[in-house]
Structure 1
Amino acid sequence: MRWRPIPLAMTALVAIVASGSLIGVRTAARAANGSVAVGAAGGPRYGLSTVGLSYPFAAAIAKGFGDAAARAGATAVILDAKGDVQKQANDIDDLIAQRVAGIAVMPLDSVVAQGWVQRAGRAGVPIAAVAALVGDPRTRRVEDVYPGLVALASQDEVAAGRSAGQLAARLLPKDRPARIAIIEGAAGFPEVEQRARGFRQALDAAGAHYAIVAAQPGNWTSEGGEAACQNILAAQPGIDLFYNEADDMVVGCARAVRAAGSKARLIGVGGSKLAIASIKAGAVDGTVCFKPEALGALAFQALASPGGDRFRTYPIPAVTRATVQQCVGQW
C-alpha cells in the first residue's frame, strides 16, 4: 500500500455504530475513512489502533473493545491502519494529541511499536498492546511485557503453535517420516515466527518423525492459503499435513487439497466461524481456538482499570471434530 498523509480531521468521531455488529464496525470504519466511535457519547474516550478492519480477527477485537467501552459508559475511538505501518504511527500520534484516556494498539510491527509506547509515555497517556507483543519477538517472551505498557492482552502465540503441533503429532503417519508444509502469514508479523516455533517444539517433544519440506506465505487470506497450497502440491504432491498459521488460510488450503485429490491433513489457528464449520463438515482436521472479542475486552479493562497482571490471556485449546463444540467462533 502506498502511504499518503491523512489529515488530523480524519480522526474525529465521525460515526456512531450500534455495539454488537462486526459488519457495522467494518462498514462504518470504511465509510469514515478509517475512524469510528463506538459506545456512550460523552463518556471518557479510549483509542484502539487496529491493523485493519478488513481482517475479521481484527474487527472482532474492535467489537470486543467497543462492547467493553459501552458497558463502562465510555467511548471507543477505533482507527483502522489498513495494513500500513506509517498510517498506524500517525493514528497513534493523533490519539495522543486528542488526549484520550488510554490507547490500545494492535501493532503491525512489534519493533517499530516500541517508539509509540515511548511517545505515549512521555505524553502521560496509558497504552496497552493487544494481540501482538511490543519488542523484538525473536528475543522477548510474550509474558515479558514491554516496559511502559499498562498491559499486553494476547494469546501466547508460541503456545498456540504448540497446541497445533500437539494435534499434528496425533495425525501424522507413524510408519515413516511425515512431510509437512507450513502456510505462513504475512512477512513482518511476529506471529509468523512464533506460531512456527511452537509448532516445531511440540512435534519434537512428542518424538515425531517429520520434515518440514515447504513453507510459503498465505498472507492471512483464504485466497492466499489456497494459492500457496496449490503451489506446494504441484511441486510435492506427497504432503502429509498442512499447518496453516491462520484459519482463513486453512479454509482456502482445504479447497486446494480437495481439487488436487490430496489426502493431506489440515490444521489451522484461530477458531474462526468458517473453520469451525469446515471441521464439522470434515474438510479440516482441527484448529486452535482463539477468542478475539475477549482480547478486545481485556485490553479495554487494562486501560480503564490498571493494576494486576500485565500479561492478560485466556486458554487456547486445540479442537477437532470430536471437540469442536468447545469453540464458539467469534470472527
Structure 2
Amino acid sequence: MTSIFKLMGCASALGLAISGAANAQETGPFGHSSNGLSFPFAAAIAKGFADAAAEVGAEAIILDSQGDVLKQTNDIDDLLAQGVVGISVLPNDSVVATAWADKAAAAGVPFVASAGQVGDPTTRPIDDVYEGMAALVTQHEVTAGHQIGLLAAKLLDDDKTAKVAVIEGAAGYAEVGLRTEGFEAGMKEAGQPYEIVAAQPGDWTSEKGESACQNILASNPDVDLFFNQADDMVVGCARAVDAAGSDALLLGFGGSKLAIQAIKDGAVDGTVCYKPEEIGRLSFNVLHDIATGTADHTEEFVTYETPAVTIDNIDLCVGQW
C-alpha cells in the first residue's frame, strides 16, 4: 500500500498525517504527540508509530511539541478535537502528563504513554501505570540502568573505589532518576566500590554533553568513568575526554547509530540498546487493538529487551535512531 504524506495545519502545532484506506475506527485517526521531533530518539518513535499505522492502512497524526509543555497540552486538545480514536504521547513532563491522561479518559479516548512515564516518578514505580491509561510502552529504565551498571563494574578495576561522573538528561524527565537508580543498583550488585564525584545535566544533546564533561574534567581530572544517560551525550563527552587526554571509560545509554559507530571506532566503551521504533510500533498496536476490538488493554506495562553492548557484542544492537 502506498502511503500519502501531507502537512496538516492546526491551532497550536504542525502535524504530519499518514493516510491509508479509510474505514472508521480501524483506520483512525490515531494521534501521537512527540516531545520534540528534532530529537533522533523521539523522531524514531514517531516513525515506528507512523509505519505501523501505514501497514494496516490507518491514519496517524504526528504532532511536534518542540520541547514545550504548554504546546504539548495544546497538542492533546487538538488531537481530541480532531476526533482521534487513540492517543500516544512522549511527554515533556511526567507530572503534567497526568492531566492529559485524565482528559483523554474523560473523552473516552484510549491513551498510551510512549517512552515516558505518566505520574510522579519519585513516588510511582515505572511499571505502576497511571490510572485509566491503556498502557505505558517503554524500556524498563531501572532494569536498563542496572544492566549498564553491571557493565561498568565489569570494565572497572574493583580493587579501588571508582570515581564516577554522571551526565544526566534534562530536569523534569523521569528517566534521569530511574537510570541512575538502576546504574547504582548494578554497581552495588557487582560489588564494585564507587563514588559519584560529579553529576551535571547534558540536556540529552551532544553539545551540552561535551560541555558537561569538560566542566567535570576541569575539577575532577582523575574521573574513572562517565555514565552518560543518553548516547548523544556520550558522543559529545568522548570529544571532551579525548581533548583532555583522559583515560576515563565512557558508557552511554540508548543504542544510537552514532554511539554504535563510536563503539566500533573505539571512542566509546559501551551502551545499552534501546529500540525507539519498536516503542512507536508497540504503542500503535495497543491503540489499534482497542480500536478494532482485537484485545483490551488497561493499565498495562509493555516493554522489550535492552541488552548492554560493547565492541564484543555490538551486533546485538541495530541502531534505530
Deviation at 1:34, TM superposition (A): 2.8
SS in 1 for 2:278: helix
Equivalent residues in 2 for 1:1-331, closer than 5 Å = 16-17=4-5, 34-40=14-20, 42=22, 43-306=27-290, 307=296, 310-331=300-321
Deviation at 1:41, TM superposition (A): 5.5
Deviation readout 1:280-306 (Å, 9 max, x if unpaired):
111100000000000000000111103
Distance between the aligned counterparts of 1:217 and 1:41, measured in 2? 45
Match for 1:40: what amino acid?
Answer: G
Match for 1:248: what amino acid?
Answer: D
Pick which of 222-231 and 132-141 moved more: 132-141
Pick which of 196-205 and 263-272 moved more: 196-205
Q: Quick check: 2:165–2:227 contact (8 Å CA) kept in 1?
A: yes
Deviation readout 1:110-168 (Å, 9 max, x if unpaired):
11111111111111111111001111111111211111111111001111111110100
Aligned length: 307
Pick which of 242-251 and 43-52 moved more: 43-52
Deviation readout 1:84-121 (Å, 9 max, x if unpaired):
00000000011111111110011111111111111111
Distance between the aligned counterparts of 1:29 and 1:319, measured in 2? 40
Higher relative contact order (CA 8 A, sep 6+): 2
Deviation at 1:210, TM superposition (A): 0.7
Deviation readout 1:244-280 (Å, 9 max, x if unpaired):
0000000000000000000000000000000000001
1:22 corresponding residue in structure 2: none
Match for 2:5: what amino acid?
Answer: V
Q: Quick check: 2:134–2:297 contact (8 Å CA) kept in 1?
A: no
Distance between the aligned counterparts of 1:108 and 1:40, measured in 2? 29
Q: Quick check: 2:8–2:15 contact (8 Å CA) kept in 1?
A: yes
Q: Quick check: 1:64–1:292 contact (8 Å CA) kept in 2?
A: yes
SS in 1 for 2:17: strand
Deviation at 1:204, TM superposition (A): 1.1
Match for 2:67: what amino acid?
Answer: G
SS in 1 for 2:166: strand
Deviation readout 1:39-61 (Å, 9 max, x if unpaired):
41533200000000000000000
Deviation at 1:176, TM superposition (A): 1.4
Distance between the aligned counterparts of 2:258 and 2:181, measured in 1? 25
Q: Quick check: 2:13–2:65 contact (8 Å CA) kept in 1?
A: no
SS in 2 for 1:305: helix
| Identity of matched residues, % | 58
Relative to the length of structure 1, the TM-score reads 0.90
Q: Quick check: 1:16–1:36 contact (8 Å CA) kept in 2?
A: no
SS in 1 for 2:197: strand
SS in 1 for 2:109: coil
Distance between the aligned counterparts of 1:230 and 1:133, measured in 2? 31
Deviation at 1:208, TM superposition (A): 1.0
Pick which of 58-67 and 166-175 moved more: 166-175
Deviation readout 1:10-55 (Å, 9 max, x if unpaired):
xxxxx9539xxxxxxxxx799x963111241533200000000000
Q: Quick check: 2:32–2:63 contact (8 Å CA) kept in 1?
A: yes
Distance between the aligned counterparts of 1:228 and 1:29, measured in 2? 38
Structure 2: gaps (5+ residues)? 291-295
Structure 1: gaps (5+ residues)? 1-14, 19-27
Deviation at 1:72, TM superposition (A): 1.3
